[in-house]
């Protein structure tokens, strides 16, 4: 049985993961973590999942919680990643990292930690989105630069980072497929007299509003035809199910940095 700890437990994703894991016989909830500023500290996780009291209460002490777990699923905040990863290494706990918007220092900490513990890191845990990543790579290589590429994403009004981690990953995949540099060859937004669209550039656009869980579209625009790859998430359960699948995968792995392509066996 997998002893699971969840960070960012009070958020919408954390609560969904706890609810689904509680109903899965392969998991035992070992603990739940929130920031020291959270007003949910001390709350029984049963109150989050709509179940009977469990006796497991949300804590700000990640180090103590991780001692009782063999897998952590992290959907907290990028500012907490370095400290949480250090605590996981100390507890020798494997890790599923779904937090996006990481700083370069946090990314470096993740790579360093992967020398000591197994980590699955992905900007989007949805199974469908990870198939989208593979399709984007295939189409990006199959269609030459006479097909312009535009990436657009829509998320709820409360999302704080932009563009989404998924859109950034799509940019990286498509830039690699085209032999382009994602930092140099991306266009974020257009305004005013922009002139003719330069060949080889990749547009990335973010829309925010309402309660949209997450929509991503990659458009390949050629002369006389257009090909679009679209993924629409209608429930956070899609991401939570993917995260739990990643937890089952990483629990059995040696130290290393893995992605969802490897979890799904399509790498």
Choose the catalytic residue: 155, 169, 216, 231. 155
Going by C-beta distance under 8 Å and a sequence separation of 6 or more, which residues neighbour residue 205?
150, 151, 152, 153, 163, 188, 189
- Which residues in 230-262 are b (16+ Cβ under 10 Å) and which e? ebebeebbbbbbbbbbbbbbbbeeeeebbbbeb
Point out which residues pair with 178 in neighbouring strands.
Answer: none
Please identify which residue in the block is written with the tokens 């907290």. 76
| Long-range CB contact pairs, 48-54, < 8 A, 24+ | 48/9, 48/10, 48/14, 48/15, 48/18, 48/19, 49/15, 49/18, 49/19, 49/22, 50/19, 51/19, 51/22, 54/22, 54/29
155 is catalytic: yes
Distance, in Å, from the CA atom of 229 to the CA atom of 115, rounded to the nearest integer, reads: 35
What is the CB neighbour count within 10 angstroms for residue 135? 14
Q: Which helix (H) or strand (E) holds 186?
A: strand 186-188
Choose the catalytic residue: 67, 159, 201, 248. 159
Residues labelled as active-site residues: 155, 159
């Amino acid at each position: 049985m997998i002893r699971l700890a969840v960070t960012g437990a009070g958020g919408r994703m954390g609560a969904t993961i706890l609810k689904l894991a509680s109903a899965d016989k392969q998991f035992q909830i070992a603990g739940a973590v929130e920031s020291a500023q959270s007003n949910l500290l001390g709350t029984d996780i049963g109150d989050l999942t709509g179940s009977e009291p469990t006796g497991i209460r949300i804590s700000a002490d990640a180090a103590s919680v991780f001692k009782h777990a063999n897998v952590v699923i992290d959907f907290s905040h990028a500012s907490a990643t370095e400290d949480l990863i250090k605590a996981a290494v100390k507890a020798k706990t494997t890790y599923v990292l779904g937090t996006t918007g990481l700083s370069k220092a946090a990314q470096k900490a993740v790579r360093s930690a992967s020398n000591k513990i197994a980590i699955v890191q992905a900007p989007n845990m949805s199974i469908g989105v990870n198939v989208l990543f593979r399709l984007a790579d295939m189409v990006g290589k199959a269609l030459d630069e006479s097909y312009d590429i535009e990436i657009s994403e829509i998320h709820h009004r409360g999302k704080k980072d932009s563009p989404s981690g998924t859109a950034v990953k799509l940019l990286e995949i498509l830039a690699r497929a085209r032999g382009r540099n994602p930092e140099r060859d991306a266009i974020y937004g257009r305004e005013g007299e922009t002139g003719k669209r330069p060949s080889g550039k990749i547009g990335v656009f973010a829309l925010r509003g309402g309660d949209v869980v997450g929509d991503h579209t990659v458009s390949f625009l050629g002369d006389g035809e257009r090909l679009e790859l679209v993924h629409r998430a209608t429930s956070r359960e899609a991401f939570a199910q993917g995260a739990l699948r990643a937890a089952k995968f990483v629990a059995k792995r040696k130290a290393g940095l893995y992605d969802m392509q490897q979890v799904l066996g399509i790498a």
